[in-house]
Structure 1
Amino acid sequence: MSDDYDTPWKDALTRYFPEFIAFYFPAAYRAINWTIPHVFLEQELAQVVHDAETGKRRVDKLARVALLDGAEEWVLVHVDVQGNYDSNFAERVFIYNYRIYDRYRRPVASLVVLADGSAKWSPDSFSYSLLGCAMGIRFPTAKLNGFAPRLEQLLGDENVFALVTAAHLLTQQTRGQHVQRRDAKFRLARLLYERKWDKQRIVDLFSVIDWMMYLPPGLQKQLMDDINGLEKERGMPYMNSFERRGLERGREEGRKEALSDLLTRQLEKRFGQLPDSIQERLKEAEPADLQHWGETLLDAPTLDQVFNRC
């Protein structure tokens, strides 16, 4: 419950969309005219997914892009950051695609990135047929664990999402190994400082890595002290004290939100719709309380007993 993915993925995808497409879907990247700015269609996507079954650990982005032949087309990106097998995932991609066509009469390219750890699950289609009628969709899929054999190559790649993917893989490899994660995180930070990137890009990418690779407070302080030393060594003060405090606040708020969302889903799955009072309590709770309730949930036979109300 400590590793948070949805917000950093959304931030990185939004800020560096062309590089996202270039890294995971190079054929699509080559077909798009990137000299014409892309436009995110937030309202259009919201209309389509309003009533859909969506998990809170997924990132969906709908964008309008210009192709090399001058046509304007729509691209729908799904990043499944939950990291779990989902037998309904391909169907969901199909539903979103046809809902967009149904509402807007626009063809849409669905592109999928999967963060689960399975070596076998790689959905790339959904279809059905009945009485001579066939309906379905095929879509490109990029699996993050498929990049694992290329980890060292990723660390040398200049694409933003090479480092984001490396951070994801290192997060998975160091789960429960805090010292090793601290070392991996510092290695990524050092690589950022070695790039000839502008300050904003380095700060943005460190925010993503920092959010992904959660460390206990003591090790996090050690890491930030080491990064401060690295900045002084290189004469590159990218993060002032205000920005550092902002990173810490945003990181803790994001962790709290992720814990609250996960516990809410677990409680609803076991006990059904939660009373408004419980939902409010979950939103206002501190991370320590949320973790305690998550542990209590394992054995508590009733919702009241989860919260020690009887």
Structure 2
Amino acid sequence: MTNLLVLEKSSEYNHQQTDYDGLWKKVIGDLFEEFILFFAPDLFEAIDFMKGHDFLEQELFQEIIKVKKGRNYVDKVVKVYLKDGLEKYILIHIEVQGSQDPELSKRMFQYFYRLYDRFSTEVYAIAVVTDVSHSFQPEPYQYSFYGTKVIYHYNTYKFTHEAIPSLETSSNPIALAILAGIHLHLTKTDYNKRFEIKRKLLEAALDTDKYPHELYITALFYFIDYLLQIPNTLTRELRKEIIPLIEKEANHMIYSKQMKKSPTLADAFKQERYEGKQEGKLEERKNFAMELIREHFSDEKIAKMTRLSVEEVRGIRKNI
């Protein structure tokens, strides 16, 4: 028997250079247990995470749910074991769209009956709506035709700015990702405000007391840094403030490949690599100069051949 979890995200993402659906997909993959704990604590208690979980190929999702071309979506199919020893499958569907969707409830019902028809088993469904407006509230799906009626209820989680205080006190790292998603909308037209929020959230993500696991910190830092895009001038300012904090709070992760790829740190590490290469080349020239000194070349000749100054050559000769 198979259990399936359906998750749909509806949001207003307009930044063309940011892969919002990919970011949510990645953070869910990185923090899968924490994701389930936050949104479905009862289901979390039933899963035996000690046996691990496997993200499966995408063919299963594509066979069951026929998504129209042109629609942005990501999905994950996860195999887990419940504490009763049985294998279960959790299907997470994330949809990112540009406006509030009146078809959300109908589509959630369609996903349900297609999954139920395929597996003939229970389905756990949840829609996570990232739009923060109060005008759109997901409702149960209702169908009625001459006495034939269907009312389909499913779990929902709606992003709201009223939830910010409780999210800020949560120890679940997914709460910090949700905060970033909420502030993405609240700071849509105010980059200076977004700069302040982004700095605050990145500082929170680097709190090794609250998030002691390296995966938490790297996953959250990458997600927040890419989600809350700010102009280059503000990014450079943020970099000056964040790098010392990384060295203080999480210096064992400063060379994380994931963090290096983030917008705030990418240029800094490019400069670090450039300087490292330059230092390496300088060392090579000094070693070459030492060989030429042993061959009794003049300081002037060695300086010309190695592109070192005469004073530098004389210093090397003195040390020899």
The alignment's TM-score, normalised by the length of structure 1, stands at 0.69
Contact 1:144-1:165 within 8 A present in 2 as well: yes
The Cα shift of 1:193 comes to 1.8
Matched, 1:142 2:153: no
Structure-1 residue corresponding to 2:122: 107
The Cα shift of 1:131 comes to 4.1
Aligned AA (1:127): Q
Question: Which structure's CA Rg is the greater one?
Answer: 2
Contact 1:76-1:108 within 8 A present in 2 as well: no
Contact 2:222-2:259 within 8 A present in 1 as well: no
Measured at CA, do residues 250 and 96 of structure 1 come closer, stay the same or move farther in structure 2, by a change above 3 Å? Answer: farther
Matched, 1:93 2:80: no
Distance 1:35 1:10 in 2: 23
Measured at CA, do residues 22 and 234 of structure 1 come closer, stay the same or move farther in structure 2, by a change above 3 Å? Answer: closer
Structure-2 residue corresponding to 1:190: 203
Two-structure CA RMSD over aligned residues (Å): 3.0
The Cα shift of 1:36 comes to 3.2
SS at the partner of 2:92?
strand
Measured at CA, do residues 172 and 212 of structure 1 come closer, stay the same or move farther in structure 2, by a change above 3 Å? Answer: same
Structure-2 residue corresponding to 1:305: none
Give matches, 1:1-310, under 5 Å.
Answer: 1-2=14-15, 4-41=19-56, 42-49=58-65, 51-53=66-68, 56-82=71-97, 84-145=99-160, 148-196=161-209, 197-234=212-249, 236=251, 238-240=253-255, 245-248=260-263
Deviations 1:107-138 (A, max 9, x none): 32222111112324332422323344334532
Measured at CA, do residues 130 and 72 of structure 1 come closer, stay the same or move farther in structure 2, by a change above 3 Å? Answer: farther
The Cα shift of 1:244 comes to 5.3
Contact 1:167-1:213 within 8 A present in 2 as well: yes
The Cα shift of 1:183 comes to 1.4
Measured at CA, do residues 163 and 83 of structure 1 come closer, stay the same or move farther in structure 2, by a change above 3 Å? Answer: farther
The Cα shift of 1:238 comes to 2.4
Distance 1:56 1:182 in 2: 31
Moved more, 210-219 or 154-163: 154-163
Measured at CA, do residues 74 and 240 of structure 1 come closer, stay the same or move farther in structure 2, by a change above 3 Å? Answer: closer
Measured at CA, do residues 216 and 18 of structure 1 come closer, stay the same or move farther in structure 2, by a change above 3 Å? Answer: same
Distance 1:94 1:54 in 2: 20
Q: Which runs of 5+ in 1 are unaligned?
A: 252-310
Measured at CA, do residues 135 and 153 of structure 1 come closer, stay the same or move farther in structure 2, by a change above 3 Å? Answer: closer
Contact 1:75-1:111 within 8 A present in 2 as well: no
Deviations 1:143-174 (A, max 9, x none): 121xx224233223221111001111222222
Structure-2 residue corresponding to 1:299: none
Distance 2:256 2:52 in 1: 34
Measured at CA, do residues 40 and 124 of structure 1 come closer, stay the same or move farther in structure 2, by a change above 3 Å? Answer: farther
How many residue pairs match? The answer is 249
Moved more, 209-218 or 68-77: 68-77
Deviations 1:237-271 (A, max 9, x none): 523396555223999xxxxxxxxxxxxxxxxxxxx
Aligned AA (2:221): F
Moved more, 125-134 or 5-14: 125-134
Contact 2:76-2:93 within 8 A present in 1 as well: yes
The alignment's TM-score, normalised by the length of structure 2, stands at 0.67
Measured at CA, do residues 54 and 104 of structure 1 come closer, stay the same or move farther in structure 2, by a change above 3 Å? Answer: farther
Q: Which runs of 5+ in 2 are unaligned?
A: 1-13, 267-320
Moved more, 167-176 or 122-131: 122-131
Contact 1:22-1:29 within 8 A present in 2 as well: yes
Contact 1:83-1:116 within 8 A present in 2 as well: no
SS at the partner of 2:127?
strand
Distance 1:198 1:11 in 2: 17
Distance 2:75 2:152 in 1: 18
